[in-house]
Structure 1
């Protein structure tokens, strides 16, 4: 109901004293009060009826009207019983704060107004509810008949006067009413994952936007979709919840369809995973790839993912891995059956897009960081496999890169085969205990000496090796005299019993300082 309709009651003889040009405000209810500051009892859109019992002196009217304006009331109705007419200071205050004011004659009770306005308001709400339910039933029927969210979202959002987008936890677009900038998508995803509670209200390029979660399976925010919608800035605060009531159910239907399709895709991907784990022939691997929609002759990229530290169902790791690889925008199969304690993704990638896909995976993993909490996400990426025959080798590469990523710091780490030197890629598959033992045996005495004397012999040794044993070049880069450098390297040799003029000893030192540990 609009304020104009509420006041247009000939029997009530209500007279508008200010705000005659602002009568198209929506009315939520009629509220009677004589409190000097009724804000705690107001939620916006009310017609506030008052007998002016709060008015004691100068300034009281301004304080009362300011409180009502701050609460977003539709109008104030002042009774004549106390003063015989509406005081001029109240009229002036309503004009200052932009609140419509009307006079209630002494012979008209507030109960008369409530009895006149409420039945019409309830009737309109019932009609609106019937419209909503009818539309919702129509949408359910349409989706059951094969319509998708991308087809229905625009007309429904336009009807509600909203712009909206359905995004995944990485900011990937599922559907939307229009384009949205990549930086806005990333900001929305970060706000969604970091929000203490949902729904949340955020700033979207200067507009007020709501974020609502749409859970799927498994039920975790990392695997959920979000509905982000922005209404007209002039709309009342209640408009956001009105939009959500219509849109969330619609998005939930699409999510249910997506989850069902995902279960089918996972069954096909698990066939590939079991074939890889069993060392199947290229013929069997080719058949498994084809069943999942990947061309065996295409360039393949393997991604190994491990999610730890979250007390959640194991399928969350699969859901997170699926989201990470899908963010790259290429065809992929994701399985938890190929590697122990890890999820494997096999992607079909055009050779010209390898760097782009790797960057997209890195960005997706970084974007999930706010939602990890105490958990940790590690990802290893293989080099390209030219065909299905090279796929098992790519799986091994991804596994080795994952071991290195797990050894890294921070809540989320991505390591690709290209990040590792050939020797490090080889050593990443060595058990962690063996790596630590080798490092301690080679560098242990030097590390202990540095801790005791703050000598930085390890730093000196590292620069000397980086300069391929050139005394003059290493001394210049360290800003040392050559004799000082010779003394320090000699001290390293004394502590370790090794000879840095010998190539094998140099290799041992080099590997000890650079291998994953």
Structure 2
């Protein structure tokens, strides 16, 4: 809105006292103040209303006007109620600083002017946003060449000064204008979005993230009306750095229009994933049906160009099995498809700026479980060509190409979570699913010739995204994932599938909403313990450990911690005493008390093993 519009609106009672040549200035807001220095509350473009209470003499006008001019306000309007004509020193100061000055008729309340300005500015911004949506609709109709989600986010920033990002349920940044969001902030917003969606409240959702910044979250839904549990773990959402709580209805509806347009892009990418889903289904049907390795190998060779366009055949494969269980969910929240969509988001590779994420995985559904076929790529190998990527198809190492990864994709690029096993930089950065940087890997242009791919590690798969996903699962859902070892040939896929399935069952036996296990946990006693019936486990542990717990409660003797340390030190008296900061004689007394209470002999291997298993099952 222009200042000339305010002057020409008779109902506002504004009389221009100076600044005739400045009436083309744009008014972006309104502020009422009688502070001597209101500059800290000004952002530029305001119409400042004042009753002149700050003015005690002619000398006060110059510094007040100078501050307003430096803050970039559009104009000053001084009320005549109670003070009479506007002082000439104020008129002169405004003239010196080329600040338009209005006198407000004493019969007109400041609230009338404020309401008018707010209504007009909000209406104009809504009109601007409508133009943004219309332009982006044309961009989206051009398909991938239109720029994807980044195009509308650029327009939101340039036209409406709104900083916004499109994020996945795992916090992966799908699109953004300008500076990327820090990984911990993305994790916080993803968790807040899922928790709010679970409540069923209408969007947008308000979230305050690290640093005290406020964001408004708008879900991007492609299946309106579905059970929220069918979508919340794989939804995209639009995060706008603003508080939409006081936005007019028209502006909110236009932002929802933006999410619908982004939903079109989501559907396009889902359609592309349908090809990989079909390939995965065919491969896993052959593996589960006991087909000949030559037949499986032929199908893998056909799938490789789809998963790694231009990348050649991967030397190794890995399998991930996931299941989502709900206490009570309708048919729309079927666990298999929900787990499939989640795995596709979880394993999507973060993209370079300006390019969409590369999907290197193919996911199928069988027996209410999702099964992902993951090709492993050696470190230093050129990333597959991507539509819209700068320099797509050119060679580039994982060191110098943002988003290129060692092995499979990093889990959504979210790092810095409290439960991350290593540093935030490694837990959520590209390549973080592997075992980290190799000591023999040179900086800059790739890895040594013949370098092995870095396998996906179970302990890092969910480290950075466990928090957001747990909030999406709520109190009635569980996610369990199993990861196989890497295999070098089609002959190993059947064994890899069995490993991943068994690892998932181990994860399912653990407490918690989000659990993952890897193949390395299948070579020990933990493979057997999850499948011991609960009543047998309780009876076994009670018979061995209840006497010790009771004694510890009565005497504070710490027999259970002593037993754990003794077994962990392989029965070494000196090492155990040193760890517990005890004299060896004191340790011998405690072990003797344990043997007396339980009737067992800790010098016997069988009794040591029983205690070990009881502690693991307790």
Q: Structure 2 length as normaliser, TM-score? A: 0.60
Between the aligned partners of 1:176 and 1:322, the Cα distance in structure 2 is: 20
Structure 1 unaligned segments of length 5 or more: list them.
Answer: 30-44, 59-72
Contact 2:130 2:254 in 1 (8 A): no
Between the aligned partners of 2:170 and 2:208, the Cα distance in structure 1 is: 17
Between the aligned partners of 1:106 and 1:457, the Cα distance in structure 2 is: 85
Instruction: Indicate the residue corresponding to 2:346 in structure 1.
Output: 324
Between the aligned partners of 2:15 and 2:298, the Cα distance in structure 1 is: 80
Q: Does 1:186 align with 2:187?
A: yes
SS in 1 for 2:587: helix
Instruction: Indicate the residue corresponding to 2:516 in structure 1.
Output: 414
Q: Which has the larger radius of gyration?
A: 1
Q: Does 1:214 align with 2:242?
A: no
Instruction: Indicate the residue corresponding to 2:524 in structure 1.
Output: 423
Cα 1:310/1:225, change in 2 over 3 Å: farther
Question: Which moves more between the two structures, 302-311 or 78-87?
Answer: 78-87
Q: Does 1:251 align with 2:250?
A: no
Q: Does 1:405 align with 2:507?
A: yes
Between the aligned partners of 1:382 and 1:452, the Cα distance in structure 2 is: 46
Instruction: Indicate the residue corresponding to 2:561 in structure 1.
Output: 459
Instruction: Indicate the residue corresponding to 2:42 in structure 1.
Output: none
Q: Does 1:335 align with 2:364?
A: yes
Q: Does 1:300 align with 2:329?
A: no
Deviations 1:41-88, CA, capped at 9 Å, x for gaps: xxxx999999x9xx9xx9xxxxxxxxxxxxxx9989789799986799
Cα 1:450/1:222, change in 2 over 3 Å: same
Between the aligned partners of 2:378 and 2:295, the Cα distance in structure 1 is: 24
State how 1:97-496 maps to structure 2 within 5 Å.
Answer: 102-103=102-103, 131=131, 134-143=134-143, 147-149=146-148, 152-153=151-152, 156-157=155-156, 159-160=158-159, 161-180=161-180, 181-195=182-196, 198-200=204-206, 202=208, 209-217=215-223, 219=228, 220-230=231-241, 241=252, 244=255, 247-290=258-301, 292=303, 293=306, 298-309=315-326, 311-312=328-329, 313-314=333-334, 315-326=337-348, 331-337=360-366, 340=367, 342-350=369-377, 353=407, 354-355=434-435, 357-358=456-457, 359-374=460-475, 375-418=477-520, 420=521, 422-428=523-529, 430-433=531-534, 435-436=537-538, 438-440=540-542, 443=545, 446-447=548-549, 450=552, 454-496=556-598
Between the aligned partners of 1:122 and 1:493, the Cα distance in structure 2 is: 79
Between the aligned partners of 1:321 and 1:348, the Cα distance in structure 2 is: 14
Equivalences, count: 474
Between the aligned partners of 1:130 and 1:243, the Cα distance in structure 2 is: 7
Deviations 1:247-289, CA, capped at 9 Å, x for gaps: 3233122122123334443343333444444444434543554
Cα 1:108/1:221, change in 2 over 3 Å: closer
Q: Which has the higher helix share?
A: 1
Contact 2:27 2:74 in 1 (8 A): yes
After superposition, the CA RMSD in angstroms is 5.4
Contact 1:216 1:223 in 2 (8 A): no
Instruction: Indicate the residue corresponding to 1:61 in structure 2.
Output: none
Cα 1:15/1:242, change in 2 over 3 Å: farther
Shift of 1:172: 1.0
Q: Which has the higher contact order (CA 8 A, sep 6+)?
A: 2
Structure 2 unaligned segments of length 5 or more: list them.
Answer: 31-44, 57-72, 351-357, 380-406, 408-433, 437-455
SS in 2 for 1:362: coil
Between the aligned partners of 1:436 and 1:283, the Cα distance in structure 2 is: 48
